[in-house]
Every structure is written in C-alpha cells, then in structure tokens.
Amino acid sequence: MRNRRIMFIGIAILLIFAGFICRLAQIQLFATTSFSRAHVNLITQSITQRTSQFVINNGRGILLDRTGKVKLNDVEQPALVLFPFLKNRKWPVEKLARIINVPAADMTSAIKRAKEAFVFRGQSLKLTKEQMKQINQLHIVGVQALKVRQPSKEWSDSYVLGTTKENPTAIQKLYPDLLKNGNVTTQTPIGVLGMEKAFDPFLLSKNETKLLYHTSASGEPLFDNSVRVSSKANTEYYPLKVKTTLDTAIQKLAEQAAAKHGLKKGGVVILDAVTSDLLSMVSLPQMDAHHPFANGNQMLKAQYPGSVFKIVTAAAAIQNNLVNDEETFNCNLNPYGTGQGERQLGALNFEDSFAQSCNYTFATLANRLMETDDQTLTRFGKALGLTDKVGWTDDVFRLQNFQQFPDEESNVIWAKGADHHDSKAIAQTAIGQLNVRLTPLSVANMMATISRGGEKQSVRSATEVDYNQPSGVKLTTFPKEGLGDSRLESYTILRLQALLRDVVKDKKGTGHALADASYPVAGKSGTAETDKGHTNEWFAGYFPADDPKYAMVVVNLDHHPGDHKTYEIYHDLVDDLHQLDEARHS
C-alpha cells in the first residue's frame, strides 16, 4: 500500500515536471511570437524589458485642417531627448547647457525625476539647426537632438480632435487581423474620443520609429553605448492624412470669445451654412488629459433646448394653416393658461409671440395641432433634422456604418411611454421642456437647414483621406449626403426665415442685443430650466441673414439665471468672423 502511494506521488511529480517542460517549450519554442489569447510577442517583450527607448514618431495618421496645410494632432519639431540612465553617469552637462542657454541644474534635476526617456522642456525649448548639430557632435550617450513628433498647439480644444490611449482589450476586438500579423501590438494607442476615435481605422499607427538603447538590469547601456533606430516605416504611402473641415482661425476666435466671457460649461458650434461642414467646435470644461471621459463633449450631448424648440412648433403651425394674422394670444398667462406667467407681455400676435418668445402662444398652438395628429411635433422635428443623429454616417470600404461623430448622442422629443394627449405635457414639449433634449450640433444643423431653404444635409468633420504623397493621392472621400426625404414646404421655410430675423430686428425681440452686429443675424434664443435648478441659455442662428455663410450655436449650460454670456459671445463671434472674412478677401 505504501509502495503504491509512493508510486502515485512519483507519477504526479513527473506529470507536474512534464507540464512545466511543455509550458517552457511553448514559451521558448512554439509560441514566441503569439503567446496566449492576447497574442503577445514574447521576443519583442523580452527585448523591450532590456531596452531604454523613446518614440520619435508614433507613425499615427495625421489630421489636417480644411486647407490641407495645417497639422492639427501632431507636428515634427526639433527636440532634445534625454535618457534617464544619465543620472548614474558622468557627462558634460555644462557643455550641453551652454549650447541651449539653460542652467545645467535644470537638466540634472529633470533627469533625476525621469523614469523614462523624455523631451527636455517640451515645445518651449526652440532648437536651431546649428544647436542640434553642436549637440550631436558632443556624442553624449543618452543625449540626442532630432526632430520628434509632438502634439500640435494649433488646436487646444481636445474634445474635438479627441485623444488616444492604450487599450489592449479594444485593440484585440477591433483589429484582430492586424494584431495577428504583427502590424500592431496590444500597446499600440488607439483613438478613444473625438476625431481620433472616429478615424482610428485610417489613423492607426503601423510605422512607429524609436530610439533604442540596449540596457543592463541596472539600466546602464550595453555593447558599444550606441543608439539604435528601430523603424518599420513605409513613408511612401503612410501615415495617412485625414483632411478635416476644421478652420484653425475660426477655432481660435471661438476659443478666445468663450474664454473672454468666462464660459465655464457649454460651448460653441459653427457650421458652414451652405454645406453643413463643421468649421469649429468648443466644448467646456476642456478635456482633462488624465481623465478624458470626465465631462465629455457637451456639443454632442443632448441638452434641454428651451424656446429654441419653438421653431418646430412654429413650423407645424404655419404648414398646418393654424396661423391667423388677426388672432392674438394673452401672453400674460403661463403655458397652461391657468395663471400668470413669469413675464407679462400682453396680447401678442403670432409673429410678435415668436420674437418675444411667448410660452402661452406656442403651448396653445401645439395643443391644437396634437388634437388631430399626436405625432405632429415629432414629424416636424424630423423635417428639421432633429429626430436622428446628424453626423455623417455611411459605409466606407469594409467599414459598415462609419460615423464621423461616434460620440454624438440621440435627440429626444418625447420620452418612451409619454402621453401625447396630456395638455400640460404637450405645452411643456412645445416650448422645449419636459423630455425634450437636443444636441447643440443638431440645433446648429437645423439653423443651416433653414438658412438654405430646407435642404437637410449631414454634418461632416472630414472630406477625404489621402496617402502620404505630395500629389495628394486620395484613398477615399466623404461626399455630402442628405438626411432623409422629409422636408418643410418652401412657404413654411420663408416664414421661418422672416420670424428668425425678427427675433433680432424687433426692438422687443429676445435677440435684439445682436441687432448691431457686423453681420445681420437671424436666430432664436432659448432658456431652459434644468434638473439642477439652473438654466441653459441658448442662441442659435445664421448669418449674414440675407446671404448665409455661417450657422452658429452658443450655449451656456447649468448656470444661474441672469447670466447672459451667450449673447456677448455670439456678438463677438459675429463681429470677429466679419473681420476675418474681410481680411481673407482683401
């Protein structure tokens, strides 16, 4: 019995050792380039553990402005790269300090804090060609002067361009074939927000270039102390270039106007009124690089619109022949007609009710409309592009349902299960309250739609993807596309255009503060109570009113009543865009 037990134990031990040997054989011989479900390249990982490296060029695709000349996400700039093992060596730091005109102590202090290779002083250190030549002639191990790809400062609003992060789980799901073929690794950064996320299939890095030092366990460089360059670059065609619709000059104006008036939460959307192409987008608070998902792009989130939604109610009333020029409404009443309203406006006709934003008028008209068709507000919202997402979406190559605005939320007019026959619910919906939520992007597109006579188009953020060639050979294009067949009648659009212009022209109109702007403005204000007891203040419009070039929305979110930054920002931007246009045409 005892001998049997010993035999079983011996066999178990042999099996365990055999398992260890098989596992070692798998690791060392059979699965060195694709280990485990994560397809880890063990050879690469082994080398990585014995190297000190710095990425010169991450090989990621380039985002260009609408001219195709300005790089928005990254630019190559002269830089001084220092490796952390310098802290344990004697090297002529004083000579280097004299060349770049900085205190030697600044460099030694930065190196002591460093855990990996870094660009000294980032983009604030401006190196000349002569300085770079002198630095490299010193032949200091761990010191390199070269052109390094760094984040561009042309576009500071990060939510529009977005950001990249390492996400092994996502890269395995999105790019299994590229991972298997070794074109990417689980450490390859992918886009997680904004345009970086939307165009990631085109921008994804396959051509990273690095500086490498083989190092010992203590971090000291081995062999001949020389630096190696590792690259798989195929610069004939890659990296790809995405030509966006963004205008850097307009973006700077929008950012400056928002900062000047202290906008804390909210933002600006500016579209080309003719094409609905995105020219500028500002979202505040700005993105925190360490917590990029903390706030999100407020211009792509569905927000309470308030009286901006009265445009939909007005369109339905006009097209259904409910507007009687002789009828007046008691605008001293609240929306339900059961008591006094917050503003005492007296008896107003339809046009004056729109200009002065009378709640009672539009609540009354909406109830009349819904008596005969409880889908009226939804149908007219659809005709103005407010029931579907407005960002460009289509199939591109093997990419089905490719979205240029993947973070765009859906609008809401009626919540699921809402009572379309409740008079109070109808009244609240008609004036943009209750369950109504609209993204600022979709509202800006609605204004562009009205400005060009009712033709609905999706919003583009990019027009084409080009190969990395001077001749600009195109890989693909993103053509203009419509947003469904439903649209308003021409007469309805003409009446809406007149109403929107009166909001600014009428001395009692809610947008009269914009009457003296450099371009004539047509638009609609909106004030909505939010869940937090604060208000959202909107102004949405287009200009010049007689020959529209821009559709613009400015919104101040979750602020205390009485704070009118929205109009101040809007006015400044209309004036600034007028001045910019004159300068460009002079």
* Residues catalogued as catalytic: 307
- β-strands 522-529, 241-244 pairing: unpaired
Contact 441, 408 (CB under 8 A): yes
Q: Which run of H or of E encompasses 550?
A: strand 550-559
Beta pairing partners, 209: 57, 231
- β-strands 278-284, 329-330 pairing: unpaired
Surface-to-core class of residue 328, CB atoms within 10 Å of its CB (0-12 exposed, 13-18 middle, 19+ buried): middle
Token pair belonging to 329: 């409404």
Beta-carbon count within 10 A of 88 CB: 10
Dihedral sign for Cα 122, 146, 158, 65, please: positive
Reading phi first (left if > 0) and then psi (alpha if -120 to 50, else beta), residue 552 is in beta
Beta-carbon count within 10 A of 320 CB: 16
- Residue 314: phi and psi, rounded to 5, are -65, -45
Q: Which of 55, 49, 43 is nearest to 233 (CA)?
A: 55
Distance of alpha carbon 523 from alpha carbon 506, whole angstroms: 12
What secondary structure letter does DSSP report for 29?
A: I
